[in-house]
Each structure stands twice: as structure tokens, then as C-alpha cells.
Amino acid sequence: MVKNKRKVIITSAVTGAIHTPSMSKHLPVTPDEIAEAAIGAAKAGAAIVHMHARDPKDGRPSQDPRHFEPILEKLKNSTDAVINITTGGSPHMSVEERMIPVATFEPELASLNMGSMNFGLFPMLDRFQEFAHEWEREALENSRDLVFKNTFADIEKILGIGNANDTRFEFECYDISHVNNLNHFHQRGMARGPLFVQSVFGLLGGIGAHPEDLMHMRRTADRLLGDNYEWSILGAGKNQMPLATIGAAMGSHVRVGLEDSLWIGPGQLAASNAEQVTRIRTILEALNFEVASPDEAREMLSLKG
Ligand code: KMH
Ligand code: ZN
């Protein structure tokens, strides 16, 4: 008897707000580039595309709906991938600014950061020194004194918008306490299952990226959330492929993309988001998993479609 293979959801986070244009010529910046990158990732096997926008003038992260609109328009006409819009924006923005695109476009899925943390981007100054725009260096320098603020009130506000519009969430947990916070909102009926838990490893200010960290996150989520969650893994930088592989072998979904890592190998920039999706897809298929389609992801996560 042939057994069904487990379906794994690949998310591609195509541009984000952490990396800056001078770090990689492959980082999509204009609406056209961002849309094309997401379409390429979806063609390569990503069921979900996690979207940020940038100001095409200088590549600065932007939550202005006018910067999202052409991207979303193009995506709707070219792919049925699930669109996941950020509420994280950039850690330098206020929560009010960060919520605007999700309130405006009412997507199927949105990110939600489950706690406050330090967000240390300054170590990237060791690797990158040449910047075309002064804001890039400033963003890295200023991160020495940066708190990524996600208070309980902030989380409640964002949950309120999502629940009013039937937008579900990718709950981003950068540390163990964030899983506790998610459990709190789940117990109160504000975070609705199946919970899509994105465990984030290897950011300075969050949990580390050792397999023991991953095990601890998994055990905590199992203990607190039981059968109510779908688990996904995101490793920052060089941790991207190794942690996605370990997580997938243990039953997780995976997230890749230039938002989380600019690399495809040591010292080798990824040429595109699609390249990272293809790499993880090859690994997943070698592990005898199947890649979930967008509709399969919708069903697993109970999205509105
Ligand atoms: N850059 C990721 C580690 C968000 O968009 O809400 C976090 C992120 C935040 O994806
Ligand atoms: Zn993001």
C-alpha cells in the first residue's frame, strides 16, 4: 500500500525590512521587483509569500499602502499563492504605522510578532561597510539601542483587526516567552487555531539557533498548544537551511527568503528568492515530503481563501 507523504508548507519572505539594498543586488526593492520575486518563489513551490514593501526611491522599508498596492495587484493576477502581509514592518516603526497595510488590504494571512525584544542588527556592520544611502548604515547603528516593541496592547490591537476581517496570523515567536504569550491569547479566545507558529531562530535579541534551542521551542509549543498548532521554522542568516532541514525532519513547515537570509552558501549570495525555495524543496523531497500547494496550505491553516 502506498502511504501519503506529509505535506510541508514553504513560505517565502521575499524582501523584509532588515536587509538593505546595498547588501545584495538581488534584494528586490521596487514594486515590480518585489512582485516578480514573489511570483518566482511561488512558481518554485512556495505556498505562502510573506510581503513587505519598500520605497522605490531609496529602498527604505515602507508601510504606505501606495507601495503595497501595485505589488498586490500583480500578485493577484499572476499567482494563487497565499499572501501574508507584515504587521512587523520595520522595528523602527510605530505599531500604528505597521498595522496600516493589513487594515487596508484585509489579507488571508498576516504576521504577528508575539513579544518585545532587543533587535541587534549592528553585527552586520562587520560584513557590510559600503552603503549607497545613509539610512542603511543608520538603521544598523541605531539597532544598538533598539527595542522591537510588541506589548500586550499592541498584540491585542493587531489581533482585533485580523479577527474583524477574518485575517489569520503567522505568529512569530522569537523566544520561549513569545510562545507563552501566544498561549495566553489563545486561552482568551483572541488567537484562533489552528495557530500557525513561526519559530524564529538566530536573531541577536532572540533565542539562539542551536538544535537544542529548536527542541526547547518545540517541547514548549507542544506542552502549551497541544494539537492546536501548525509549526514552522525560520533560521536567520546561515542558519536558514540547516534549521529548516532539522525542523522539517521533526514535523515542521519551513520559511526561507531574502528577508531572513541573503545567502545560498557560505559567502555566496542567493541570486533570487526562487533559488532558496528550490534548495529547500530539493531537501524536503529528498526527505520524502511533498510540498503543499496554496490550497492545501489554506486548508491546513483554515484560511478564508
Ligand atoms: N524579519 C523577520 C525575522 C514581520 O514581518 O512581522 C521577522 C518578520 C516580522 O517577518
Ligand atoms: Zn516580515
DSSP per residue over 176-218, as a string?
HHHHHHHHHHHHTT-SPSSEEEEEEE--BTB---SHHHHHHHH
Asked whether residue 34 is domain-assigned, the answer is yes
Asked whether residue 227 is domain-assigned, the answer is yes
- Rounded-to-integer distance, Cα 170 and Cα 300, Å: 13
Asked whether residue 295 is domain-assigned, the answer is yes
Asked whether residue 39 is domain-assigned, the answer is yes
- Centroid of ligand 2 to alpha carbon of 84 (angstroms): 9
Asked whether residue 78 is domain-assigned, the answer is yes
Structural domain boundaries enclosing 132: 7-301
Report helix, strand or coil for 274. Answer: helix
Probe residue for ligand 1, chosen from 92, 259, 260 as the CB with the greatest number of ligand atoms within 8 Å = 259
Could you tell me the pLDDT band of residue 2, with boundaries at 50, 70 and 90? confident
Ion ligand 2 — residues with CB under 5 Å?
A: 16, 86, 88
Asked whether residue 132 is domain-assigned, the answer is yes
Q: What ipTM, to 2 d.p.?
A: 0.96
The one-character DSSP state at 85 is E
Cis status of the peptide bond prior to 107, with omega within 30 of 0: no
pTM, 2 dp: 0.98
Q: pLDDT tens digits, residue range 196-225?
A: 999 999 999 999 999 999 999 999 999 999
Which phi-psi region, left, alpha or beta, contains residue 71 (left: φ > 0; alpha: ψ -120 to 50)? alpha
- Rounded-to-integer distance, Cα 229 and Cα 23, Å: 35
Asked whether residue 1 is domain-assigned, the answer is no
Count of domains observed in the chain: 1
Asked whether residue 144 is domain-assigned, the answer is yes
- Centroid of ligand 1 to alpha carbon of 226 (angstroms): 25
